[in-house]
Chain A
Amino acid sequence: MDDGPEDDLSVTPPKECAAGLPAVRHALEYSLGQTSPRRTALTLLTMNQVDGTDCPGCAWPDPAPGHRHRNEYCENGAKHINDEATSRRVTRDFFRRHSVSELSRRSDRWLNQQGRLTEPMVKRPGSDHYEPISWHDALGLVATELTSLGSPDEAAFYTSGRVSNEAAFVLQLFARAFGTNNLPDCSNFCHESSGAALHETLGVGKGTVTLLDLEHADLILVVGQNPGTNHPRQLSALEQAKLNGARIIAVNPLPEAGLLRFKNPQKPRGVIGSGTQIADRLLQIRLGGDLALFQALNRLLLEAEDERPGTVLDQDFIRSSTTGFDEFAEHVRATTWKEACARTGLVRAEIEAVRDEVLRSERVIVCWAMGLTQHRHAVPTIREVVNFLLLRGNLGRTGSGACPVRGHSNVQGDRTMGVWERMPDGFLDALQREFGFDPPRAHGLDSVDTIRAMRAGRVKVFLGLAGNFVRAAPDSAVTEEALRGCRLTAHVSTKLNRSHAVCGDTALILPTLGRTERDVQESGEQFVTVEDSMSEVHASRGRLEPASRLLLSEVAILSRLARMTLDGTVDVPWDAFEADYGTLRDRISRVVPGFHDFNARVARPGGFCLPNPVNEGVFPTPEGKAVFTANVGDAQPVPPGHLLLQTLRSHDQWNTVPYTDNDRYRGIHGDRRVVLVCPDDLAGLGLAEGDRIDLVSVWTDGVERRAPGFEVVPYPTPAGCAAAYYPETNVLVPLDSVADVSNQPTSKGVVVRLEPAAP
């Protein structure tokens, strides 16, 4: 990339407190750097309000109507929404000046900073520039390519979590009417392991808690999650829980600022006081050590019950509502302390202290994110978390439960709308009844399998609806080669990103409305809907004038594409869907369980909540009960002289898009190509602070995966564990290094060695 870091690297001590007035300042600085004060005010004051715009950032829920702050957003949400609302524009003149080759050498930050896309663009075979194309011709080109494929399964339709429920439903309907279940989506990279584990053990692949539960828990474990950067509004809920008397235990390899202390900028104690301590205990666990931790904890709880029968475990609940307990108990009793301490990097006393906290607590919640899901043993790990919750009946009661925290606003809703390559027959039958065509039944491809198929030439057309697939995916070199091998890549996007520069023979940029923009169709102004991490479905409306008159909404783009591609072969009213999203919601209400009276219910302030059967005493597993499991698994073995690397976001970043080169919470300024290493490891590796190294990952295929030119920064991370930012380090994650069962890339468990960089 020829646009380098903003400044030379400087390192300051990591912060021990998140948010506060600096968060407000940074949010406003970034926002006002993108757009006018008027637009900034409009976006921020309507964000996450009833009748306002849903933050396109993370999937943290909003408080009930009437209980929201006037400023109901976090620093990163503010940056994200004004990054979208930017006044900068990318025009046809830009593409004349910058070739695709040149764009492919530009950094993610530079590409993002160029502004909003304004009209459809096409890169034709053999050309190195995008040129303007009309919507009719652009969609006609896609339709022609699709209909000339040898099989519908030679196409893949990717969704990212910004996509609304309506657009997601239209996309999967189109794909299935076209004849394929190839529906990769960004959750394949994020919480697929959670869905797999929860579905198997509880019968529901979603979290079971609401904001109210968090506020009334006695104990909250925040495991493998960094709310200060990735879900900052969660800190408000944790602060409220603390004020209500809850204890919080954080389990994380890094002492993240948001786990230590929170200065709520909307409260006096956060502005002029010292804020609220978040974690009462921080367990700095080794990467991938969480399965061993929960097994050790579960063993301690069983032993406590042995000592005081009937006082520790919820025997009534275990007897009446679970299965598999005996096998689980026998397995977990056989785990050893030697193994537990080696895998966790913790001492026995630390784990026993957690046990003591648990025994003092009637209601316990476990929150987690990528720190659990992005390891090869992620599914067994999350199953073990469920075992832990089941032991003392911490499911189905207020203030208790499982809380996977999703990091993209509608990633949960997209899956609810049917964006999954393995939808059950019940859903496909409902589609068939409603629309009169036979959806394909053979399972399709998820994201990893789509890359494999593109590489092998079995997928020739890739349509991406939002997101930045090439930078979200692992094994960057393989993914890029796979995309370049396609006949056509087309992306429905708001801003420029690397996915537009790494493209097929023919490539299309299809610019679309952002969440912040008014969406006016034939029947009038429209709204879309989203579903947050706690299964609350609500509306989102934009207020700004669109960035260009030539933008179409995602629903409009997909409806027109479907009409042109399918040419009346299915009886689906694509025109009506485009003209009035209410007609689309009526159809959704008859296909997707729980969405009856969709239009009426979502029009209520705050929308509606999809009930979780677990909270109504129902575990929809084949046995009709919650399932205890016996789990085995470990992180990748790390040879001597190597480290286990986790890829992570900086604080000034949202998903694949860095806003600056700073990570102020971790004390990193001016450069993102850094690797955080435990000081105890430096000597053993013959390295010192400031050394320039290349990161090289190790995998069974013998292929060298190298991320060159990183600077070593000593950091308080457990020995043997390192950290570096993605997407720069996605190149190190082998495509075939995936979690068992879920096929999710192991982005937090990469074996690397540090080699001196070439001079």
Chain B
Amino acid sequence: MSVVTEMVQVAVPVRTAYDQWTQFESFPRFMSRVGKVTQERPTLTHWTIRVGPLRRGFHAEVLEQHPDAHVSWRSLDRHLQHHGSVTFQSLALGRTTVTVRLHLVGWRGLGVPAPLRAVVRRMVRAELGRFQEYVEGVGDAGETWRGTIHDGRVLQLQKEPPDTPGWPHG
């Protein structure tokens, strides 16, 4: 397995950084490689990544999500496997360190060659730079979901439960 670790300091409070990052559907606005993200349920997102003319879609499961602290996920793509985490560390003067740790399992678990790891590292660094520019420019993430996910399960909803028919179905 290969690990890529990159970090960026953003000039916004930790809550703003965390709230913006966890609005996954907004990623296409500031990440050039992300074509679309759909949040199907709190623990499940679908991503379309673009690299040049190539497109690849995959589902990602959110394993941990702790407000203002930490998000981790794993891809459900059995061919291109990876998992990762993002941590948010509050600094003085309303600044935050955002650290991305990406574990690349590679094509069907065969690992990732060094040159490709370097490419991924550069991509992650560049995307973090775009996140910094975006979140500092926007300055406020607005209303967002502040629930907690642990071990792939929502622990605290922090909002009204979904509106669904609440009677037995035959």
A residues apposed to B, CB below 8 Å: 185, 187-188, 190-192, 194-196, 198-199, 203-206, 212, 215-216, 243-245, 314, 316-317, 320, 393, 396-398, 411-412, 415-416, 420, 422-424, 426-427, 535, 592-594, 596, 609-613, 615-618, 620, 744
Contacts and interface: CB of A to CB of B under 8 A. Distances in A.
Contact of B157 (A195, A416, A592, A617): A617
B6 interface: no
Contacts of B161: 613, 616, 618, 620
Contacts of B156: 617
A212 B59 contact: yes
Contacts of B170: 185, 187-188, 190-192, 194-195, 411, 415, 420, 744
Interface string B43-58: 1100000000000000
A616 B167 contact: no
Nearest to A190: B170
Nearest to B170: A187
A416 B155 contact: no
A196 B59 CA distance: 33
Contacts of A190: 170
A594 B153 contact: no
Interface in B127-170: 147, 150-157, 161-170
Nearest to B43: A398
Given A188-B170, A216-B76, A204 B164 contact: yes
A596 B43 contact: no
Nearest to B145: A616
Contacts of A617: 42, 147, 153-157
B168 A416 contact: no
Sort A-B residue pairs by CB-CB distance and give the 9 closest, nearest first. A187-B170, A617-B154, A195-B168, A205-B168, A611-B162, A199-B168, A192-B170, A618-B161, A397-B152
- Find the residue from B61, B151, B156, B166 having the highest chain A CB count within 10 A: B166
B76 A212 contact: yes
- Find the residue from B42, B44, B169 having the highest chain A CB count within 10 A: B169
Given A611-B41, A613-B162, A618-B157, 14 more contacts: A187-B170, A195-B169, A198-B168, A212-B40, A216-B61, A320-B155, A393-B153, A398-B61, A535-B164, A610-B165, A611-B162, A617-B147, A617-B153, A617-B156
Interface of B: 40-44, 59, 61, 76, 78, 147, 150-157, 161-170
Contacts of B151: 314, 316, 393, 397
A661 to B, nearest CB: 30
A223 to B, nearest CB: 18
B44 A212 contact: yes
Contacts of A244: 78
Contacts of A397: 43, 151-153
A735 B137 CA distance: 70
Nearest to A398: B61
A420 B147 contact: no
A396 B149 CA distance: 11
- Find the residue from A420, A616, A744 having the highest chain B CB count within 10 A: A616
Nearest to A213: B44
A538 to B, nearest CB: 15
A593 B165 contact: yes
Given A393-B151, A618-B157, A187 B169 contact: yes
Contacts of A609: 40
B167 to A, nearest CB: 6
Contacts of B42: 615-617
Given A191-B169, A416-B169, A317 B164 contact: no
- Find the residue from B147, B153, B161, B163 having the highest chain A CB count within 10 A: B153
- Find the residue from A187, A199, A412, A615 having the highest chain B CB count within 10 A: A615
25 contacts: A188-B170, A203-B166, A205-B168, A205-B169, A244-B78, A245-B78, A397-B153, A398-B43, A398-B152, A415-B168, A415-B169, A420-B170, A422-B167, A424-B167, A592-B165, A593-B164, A594-B162, A613-B161, A616-B154, A616-B157, A616-B162, A617-B147, A617-B153, A618-B154, A618-B157
Given A185-B170, A212-B44, A396-B153, A613 B164 contact: yes
A705 to B, nearest CB: 25
A592 to B, nearest CB: 6
Nearest to B76: A216
Nearest to A197: B168
Contacts of A212: 40, 44, 59, 76
A502 B29 CA distance: 64
Contacts of B152: 397-398
A216 B43 CA distance: 14
A215 B61 CA distance: 13
Contacts of A204: 164, 166
B120 to A, nearest CB: 24
Contact of B166 (A320, A593, A596): A593
Nearest to A422: B167
Contacts of B153: 317, 393, 396-397, 617
A618 B147 CA distance: 12
A393 to B, nearest CB: 7
Contacts of B168: 192, 195-196, 198-199, 205, 415, 420
Nearest to B60: A398
B83 to A, nearest CB: 13
B43 to A, nearest CB: 6
Contact of A398 (B76, B150, B162, B164): B76
Given A616-B154, A617-B155, A618-B157, A610 B167 contact: no
Contacts of B147: 617
B91 to A, nearest CB: 31
Contacts of A243: 78
Nearest to A393: B153
Contacts of A426: 166
A190 to B, nearest CB: 6
A675 B168 CA distance: 35
A320 B153 CA distance: 12
Contacts of A612: 162, 164
Contact of A420 (B61, B162, B167): B167
A427 B76 CA distance: 38
A194 B76 CA distance: 30
Nearest to B166: A620
Contacts of A398: 43-44, 61, 76, 152
A611 B44 CA distance: 12
Contacts of A317: 153
A156 to B, nearest CB: 16
Contacts of B41: 611, 615-616
Contacts of B157: 616-618
Contact of A415 (B78, B164, B167): B167
A613 B153 CA distance: 12
